[in-house]
């Protein structure tokens, strides 16, 4: 694969690509790399020691990021009555019931998160083929199927991260922008690690976090010493 001149410069600056750092060191290394003209998203990639072929080893969840995501989040809510009023008061961008579901069926997609009350899921479930591939299907495990729609909207607008292990047992989670200061990135990172540790399946044996790497949109990955992650659990 051809690498850009910038990527090669970044790779040379990082040096040994097998070196593993503490979280703080890795964030510092990432922020010191030669950059690009846009504000890059910072993402963590984690390889887990679970067997995703087994239904009882699914790893999925969501966590509010204490320092936000650095981007505007558009929230749509399927609810009626008091729940709809609560969603509007909390700042939801789009609120509706059968009308909103019909609008989505017809192609409306101007939202980043879809929240539903439990009773509205009978209307939302048929949208699975549209919403599922985009990761937008409401789910109780991510807090997007709830009677507490006001809290869910406020969390979503403030910034939250959803995570799910893919078939290869890897989790990829954005946790801020490269322009964030190091402390903000560290706080968001620790929130994700704590949530991931809490989501560990009871049936998972052996080492849970096998590897961890952080990177920007246009940077090489910086590896983190997984032993350092144990501190986040304390």
> Residue 173 corresponds to which tokens in the numbers above?
């989670």
Judge if 79 and 53 occupy the same domain.
Answer: no
| Rounded CA separation 48/32 (Å) | 28
Judge if 90 and 133 occupy the same domain.
Answer: yes
Judge if 105 and 170 occupy the same domain.
Answer: no
pLDDT digits (tens, 9 = 90+) for 175-187: 999 999 999 999 9
pLDDT digits (tens, 9 = 90+) for 28-48: 999 999 888 899 999 999 999
Judge if 63 and 166 occupy the same domain.
Answer: yes
What's the average model confidence in pLDDT over 78-95? 96
Distance of CA 185 to the CA centre of its chain: 14
Judge if 153 and 173 occupy the same domain.
Answer: no
Contact 34, 9 (CB under 8 A): yes
Judge if 16 and 63 occupy the same domain.
Answer: yes
What is the model's pLDDT at position 44? 97
HEC string of the chain equals CCCCHHHHHHHHHHCCCCCEECHHHHHHHHHHCCCCCCCCEEEEEEEECCCCCCHHHCCEEEEECCCCCCCCCCEEEECCHHHHHHHHHHCCCEEECHHHHHHHHCCCCCCCEEEECHHHHHHHHHHHHHHHHHCCCCCHHHCCECCCHHHHHHHHHHCEEEEECCCCCEEEEEEEECCCCHHHHHHHHHHHHHHHHHCCCCCCCCCCEEEEEEEECCCCCEEECHHHHHHHHC
CATH code of residue 218: 3.30.190.20
Using the 3D structure, point to which of 101, 126, 158 is the last residue of a domain. Answer: 158
Query: Which range of residues forms the domain containing residue 225?
Result: 5-67+160-233
Using the 3D structure, point to which of 133, 158, 183 is the last residue of a domain. Answer: 158
What is the model's pLDDT at position 162? 87
Judge if 173 and 149 occupy the same domain.
Answer: no
Judge if 220 and 168 occupy the same domain.
Answer: yes
Judge if 102 and 146 occupy the same domain.
Answer: yes
Judge if 125 and 20 occupy the same domain.
Answer: no
pLDDT digits (tens, 9 = 90+) for 107-162: 999 999 999 999 999 999 999 999 988 889 999 988 999 999 999 999 899 888 88
Judge if 93 and 132 occupy the same domain.
Answer: yes
Tally of CA atoms within 13 A in the half-sphere of 4 that contains its CB: 9
Contact 9, 213 (CB under 8 A): no
Using the 3D structure, point to which of 111, 138, 158 is the last residue of a domain. Answer: 158
């Amino acid at each position: 694969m051809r690498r850009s001149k910038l990527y090669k410069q970044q790779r040379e600056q990082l040096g040994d690509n097998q070196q593993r750092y503490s979280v703080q060191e890795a964030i510092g290394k990432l922020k010191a790399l030669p950059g690009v003209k846009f504000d890059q998203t910072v993402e963590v990639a984690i390889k887990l020691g679970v067997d995703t072929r087994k239904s009882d080893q699914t790893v999925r969840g969501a966590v509010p990021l204490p320092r936000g995501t650095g981007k505007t989040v558009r929230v749509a809510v399927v609810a009626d009555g008091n729940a709809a009023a609560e969603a509007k008061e909390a700042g939801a961008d789009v609120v509706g019931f059968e009308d909103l579901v019909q609008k989505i069926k017809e192609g409306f997609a101007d939202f980043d998160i879809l929240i539903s009350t439990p009773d509205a899921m009978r209307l939302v479930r048929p949208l699975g083929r549209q919403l599922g591939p985009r990761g937008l299907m409401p789910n109780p495990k991510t807090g997007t199927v709830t009677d507490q729609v006001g809290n869910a909207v406020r969390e979503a607008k403030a910034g939250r991260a959803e995570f799910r292990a893919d078939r290869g047992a890897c989790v990829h989670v954005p946790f801020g922008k490269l322009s964030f200061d190091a402390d903000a990135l560290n706080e968001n990172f620790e929130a994700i690690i704590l949530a991931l540790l809490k989501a560990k399946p009871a049936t998972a044996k052996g080492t849970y976090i096998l590897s961890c790497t952080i990177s920007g949109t246009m940077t090489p990955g910086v590896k983190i010493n997984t032993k350092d992650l144990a501190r986040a659990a304390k």
